[in-house]
Amino acid sequence: MCAGAKVKQESKLFISSPNLKSGAAYTLYNIPQDKRLNHFVEIRDNILSHESEVILSSFFESKR
């Protein structure tokens, strides 16, 4: 749903840590760069990747 909205917006997508299991970019789907859609989203990835992974991991560990 979020990837579809981003495609309609025609902008850049900034990803810090891609979700390779169930994300909508760089996975089975890759919706933001699907050439069958009428808009193309430029993706910038691995922005502060390590820092983001640490924050996400600690957040979800606290929820368990």
Contacts of 14 (CB under 8 A, 6+ apart): 44, 45, 47
pTM of the model: 0.57
10 Å CB burial of residue 34 (0-12, 13-18, 19+) is: middle
Domain chopping of the chain, boundaries: 2-63
5-60 pLDDT per residue, tens: 666 676 777 878 777 787 777 777 787 788 888 777 888 888 898 998 899 899 99
